Amino acid sequence: MLKRAIALTGILIIALSMIPTLSFADDDPNEQVFYIGEPVNAGLDTGYEGSSSFGRDDLHFGWDLGRFTVSGYTSVKEDADGTPVFLKTPGDEVKLSFRLEQNINALDGNESLAINGDIDGYDVHFGIDKTDFGKGALIIRQTNYQNETGSPQVYTNYLSGVEQGADTEVELFEEGDYEVRLDYELKNDERKVGPVSILPGYANYKIDFKFKVRNGNCMVFPFDLATKMELANEAYAPNGFYLDLARSRYLDINVKKEVMAAGANGLVEDARFNGPARDGDQYTQEGIYTITVSNPYTGQETIKKIYVGDDPVLKACAVTGLSVEEIGGRLANGEVIAESGQLVAPEAAEEVIADEEGKGALVAILAILLVSCALATALVIAKKRRRFEAAEGPKLLNAENTPLSLPDGEEKAQ
């Protein structure tokens, strides 16, 4: 019985090994996918400028060549003109893929209908002069955050290089505006006498679309100019700070600077400027800076406040979270600002000041002691070195400079 079970198990293993392995590496059920682009009739020899829907007599009627998809994003919005905007967050990789659904040599199962090699193709929209497009030309062009439109990337003979039924990754995309077009030509060769084609029909088609990629975050990162460390909200930066947008190029950022001024009831915050800012801007003048960043595609807003300068009131604002007016009122009531930035009550003020002075004196004494120890160590080392040199001196003299008696009575140093 046991031998039979073992034999059956062996047969089962062999049978399973003969079944083709299915790969699901690219099939993530949680990944969002956006289908984009529809084919249209672009005319014939018009530089792919036509844009007509398919009628019943159209060669392309009733079947699709393939589908483009965008994936690797967190969410998608529509711009005012209906253009999809793909929002990416840290870790996202927005990519464009294409799935070819047809045998390009027998479209829609018809061996007389095929993708033709367009040897003198050209594209008016992208300014591409006549060239050999081959069996389909994929064209991609980016416009960056400075509104600079780059040169189109042209992938000729594209359809010959993709596998039917497979998702082929086209490209990964960072922030920017993108235009994509697949130009291809169909040949209808239904009239043949043997290998000879008789008046074959041709037509140009395209799948074209636009989309945008934006960072979905709404963050600004202020860094201390002196320490280069990131500053949190309500931070104190006596030497100033600079802004880092982490390569988010499409955020709206505004900086308001206020200074302390004497008001009718004490200190107040008085605005000095309030305007747009850029990535890398630096701020070193004394004041209170309010940074507001907003993402026009998500509607989110982030606000941070940074205190710059060596005025104790500014440090107290950062440490206590109180406004200039509140701190001014408490100072008027006799409180003092400790070295730490904390406000201290009048009855404890002298004790705190004395304690801070005592700490300062202790630090000074420790510094003097350290310097004294360093000097004493240096003196001991120098004294030992002199003793060593004094002891070695005669040895060198006796060993190398001892006079020798020569036969003629003269002396010569060795």
HSE, side-chain direction, 13 A CA sphere, residue 184: 25
Residue 135 has pLDDT above 70, yes or no: yes
- Whether the model clears a pTM of 0.85, i.e. scores above it, the answer is no
Q: Which residue reads 């500014």 in tokens?
A: 314
* Residue ranges of E strands in 162-200: 167-173, 176-188, 192-193, 196-197
Which comes out higher in pLDDT, residue 199 or 89? 89
* Dist. CA 245–CA 253, nearest whole Å: 9
Residues, the chain? 414
Residue 16 has pLDDT above 50, yes or no: no
The model's pLDDT over 363-405, given as tens digits with 9 standing for 90+, comes to 555 555 565 666 666 666 666 666 655 555 444 434 344 444 4
Under a CB-based contact definition with an 8 Å cutoff, are residues 250 and 288 in contact? no
Percent of the chain's residues with pLDDT above 90 = 52
Which comes out higher in pLDDT, residue 10 or 247? 247
* Residue ranges of E strands in 11-82: 33-36, 39-43, 66-71, 75-78
Residue 78: φ, ψ to 5°? -115, 135
Query: What's residue 29's pLDDT?
Result: 61
Q: Which residues contact 222 (CB under 8 A, 6 or more apart)?
A: 230, 231, 235, 237, 241, 242, 243, 244, 291, 304, 306
Query: What's residue 142's pLDDT?
Result: 96
Predicted confidence band of residue 213 (pLDDT cuts 50, 70, 90):
very high
Predicted confidence band of residue 189 (pLDDT cuts 50, 70, 90):
confident
Query: What's residue 323's pLDDT?
Result: 85
The pLDDT mean for the chain works out to: 81
User: Average pLDDT for residues 347-358, to the nearest whole number?
Assistant: 58
* Dist. CA 364–CA 372, nearest whole Å: 12
Specify which residues 268 forms β-bridges with: 261
Query: What's residue 406's pLDDT?
Result: 41
What is the DSSP-derived secondary structure letter of residue 118? B
**249 burial class (0-12, 13-18, 19+ CB within 10 angstroms)?**
middle
From 318, 343, 315, select the one nearest 329 (Cα to Cα): 343
* Dist. CA 306–CA 316, nearest whole Å: 12
Percent of the chain's residues with pLDDT above 70 = 74
Instruction: Give the containing element (helix H, strand E) for 106.
Output: none
Under a CB-based contact definition with an 8 Å cutoff, are residues 158 and 135 in contact? yes
From 307, 283, 282, 279, select the one nearest 293 (Cα to Cα): 279
Query: What's residue 390's pLDDT?
Result: 55
Instruction: Give the containing element (helix H, strand E) for 383.
Output: helix 346-400
- In the structure encoding, which two tokens stand for residue 97, read together? 């893929």
Q: Which residues contact 314 (CB under 8 A, 6 or more apart)?
A: 236, 260, 286, 288, 307, 308
Query: What's residue 342's pLDDT?
Result: 86
The model's pLDDT over 266-306, given as tens digits with 9 standing for 90+, comes to 677 788 899 999 999 999 999 999 999 999 999 999 999 99
